[in-house]
Structure 1
Amino acid sequence: MLRSSHALAIAIAVALPSPGFAASPQSFKGEYTVSFFGLSIARSTFSSHYENGAYAIEGSVSAAGLAKLFDDTRGTISSKGTISGKKMVPQAFRADYTSGKKASVVDIRFTNGAVTSTQVIPAPGKRDPNNWVPLGASDLASVLDPMAATVVHADSLDQVCGRTVKFYDGEMRADLTLTYDSKGAISVPGYKGDTVTCRMGFEPVAGYRKGRKALNYLKNRSRMMVTFAPLGQTGVYAPIHATVGTQIGTLTISAGRFEAIQ
């Protein structure tokens, strides 16, 4: 999943908000649906907790609807780390998932925000050095895992967009840029209020094959929009709706529940 479809990896990352930065302990929960041409193809849930400068997130994702007939993927995702100022500093990320009878693992460890180890099972095949953009040490400094990359700490909705996120999924390093698009409002169980929508740009940096059509499409042609809403009174904004354009159509991620629990 993370290795074979970066569009889906980004979509799932967008659908799993990170925790807040409240002075007192806070917990959050959410439920999301990923759909394609109006048909549900995946569901995800998450729970997260922040306390004493540390965060922990547990999430799950599973294929749904007709997608289960073709690729019965399901798995769990976890992320933990600390907060430094207004920045997430990840310590560990792990995704365990199965697709049919095939089991896969992505395990990333960090020290001071830099990747110190990555384990991918099954291991990637041999790379053609003429077509592969390798990862360097500088590529893995001050990066965020797929879950920590979704959170935005800002003083207001006006300041959510206008930033670049350094994203690492265990194989590929990419920059995700957020630029302002519009403001709006939304109502879902657990939240009713204002939102801001950012257009998300995608720029592969390293850890990918040159000329790959799916990545070129995400970079040059895909329209990716992410709508953020606040998590309680924490000053944290997380995705509540998103669309990701792919070569075969648009993936839509929608929150069915989005709430902070005091």
Structure 2
Amino acid sequence: MQSSVKSTRAVLLYAVLVSSAIPSVPAFAADGEVAASYDITLGGFALAKGNLAVKVEKDAYTARVGYRTAGVGKVMSGARGEAKSTGTLRPDRPVPASYLLEGSGDKKDHHVAMGLAAGSVRDLDVEPPLKDDDERIPVTAAHRRDVLDPLSAILIPIARRDGAAGPEVCGRTLPIYDGWTRYDVRLSYKRTETVTKPGYSGPAVVCAARWIPVSGHKPDRAGTRFMAENRNLEMALAPVGDSGLMVPVRIAVETMSGLLVVQADRFQVIAGSHAAR
């Protein structure tokens, strides 16, 4: 169960789960704001609660996420935490400027403070630090360039002139650095479905996902091999009003302990919206 709680934290903050610029697409002119809450289950059992708030003002964004264990997860571990990311939006991807993570659980505290410029890490403070280990793939300076933090990675721009969301939303690879490890999440189109949640009713684009380790990991670990070979990962994305941005309404990941599902139970577009309420 300890590894399951860690997986929950990773999914909430990386979400994902887990491109080239498109200069013909206009800048993000419309503002938007969304507040969502999530139930997290493992093998059908309640594991944690999460919340996400994203605000877009012109081409600037602020995103916050929080989580705490619940149900079975609370019995096994009192993990909780929060993260914040800020940056600007390009038509093809976010460009993060700062990322802060504070978390606790498994009798350990976790801290990341990351400053970025033009998508590259300039300042970094992490706790606990990554231990030197001959079995670990080293994180190089090149691995910290042109990256997304885990929270910015779940903000997916709609790269179409008409602002409509289609299969091309999934046609991207997310280069993520969390302060300890560097990995890619490769998305591909799976299907489009209709979702109905308190605060939103409309289409959601479902992307299949692949986790591809780059550095900071131990390649011979069973968990690393399992996730690298895992084909059962997907993320359903819904639009944030007229902001030209999409965020997850559902994330599903097969883990070594069962299927982990992060499911929105409330998805409220607060401003800049033409979506159903």
Aligned partner letter, 2:197: V
Assess, with a 3 A threshold, how the Cα gap between structure 1 residues 225 and 100 changes in structure 2: closer, same or farther.
closer
Letter in 2 for 1:233: D
Name which of 157, 174, 190 aligns with 2:166. Answer: 157
Distance 1:216 1:5 in 2: 19
Q: Secondary structure at the match of 2:13?
A: helix
Could you tell me which residue of structure 1 aligns to residue 94 of structure 2? 88
TM-score normalized with structure 2 length: 0.85
Match of 2:41 among 13, 35, 38: 35
In the alignment, does 2:191 pair up with 1:182? yes
**Alignment-mate amino acid for residue 149 of structure 1:** A
1:214 counterpart residue number: 223
Contact 1:28–1:47 (8 Å) recurs in 2 = yes
Structure 2, gaps ≥5 residues long: 18-26, 272-277
Shift in Å, 1:173: 0.7
Change in Cα spacing, 1:203 to 1:101, as seen in structure 2 (3 Å) is closer
Distance between the aligned counterparts of 1:86 and 1:45, measured in 2? 25
What does 1:28-177 align with in structure 2 at a 5 Å threshold?
28-99=34-105, 102-125=108-131, 127-129=132-134, 131-154=135-158, 155=160, 156-177=165-186
Q: What's the CA shift for 1:259? A: 2.1
Q: CA deviation at 1:87?
A: 2.6
SS for the counterpart of 1:35 is: strand
Residue 23 (structure 2) aligns with:
none
Q: 1:11 to 1:105 in 2, by over 3 A?
A: same
Q: Quick one: distance in 1 between partners of 2:153 and 2:94?
A: 8
Paired residue type of 1:49: K
- Distance, in Å, in 1 between the alignment partners of 2:257 and 2:51 is 26
CA gap 1:83/1:238 in 2 versus in 1, 3 angstroms: same
8 Å contact kept, 1:31–1:43: yes
**Cα deviation, residue 189, structure 1:** 0.8
**C-alpha distance in structure 1 between counterparts of 2:141 and 2:106, whole Å:** 35
Shift of 1:250: 0.8
2:234 maps to which of 215, 218, 225: 225
Bigger strand fraction:
1
Give the Å deviation of 1:223. 0.9
Q: Deviations over 1:86-133 (max 9, x none)?
A: 4311111111112165322112211111011221113233x222x111
CA distance in 2, matches of 1:4, 1:162: 29
Point out 4+ residue stretches in structure 1 off by more than 6 angstroms: 3-6
The letter for the 1-side match of 2:74 is K
Amino acid at match of 1:133: I
**Corresponding letter in the other structure for 1:88:** P
- CA distance 1:24–1:227, shift in 2 (3 Å): closer
2: distance between equivalents of 1:88 and 1:222? 26
Counterpart residue identity of residue 195, structure 1: A
Matched letter for residue 98 of structure 2: A
Q: SS of 1:209's equivalent?
A: coil
Aligned-residue Cα RMSD (Å) equals 2.2
Structure 1: gaps of 5 or more residues: none
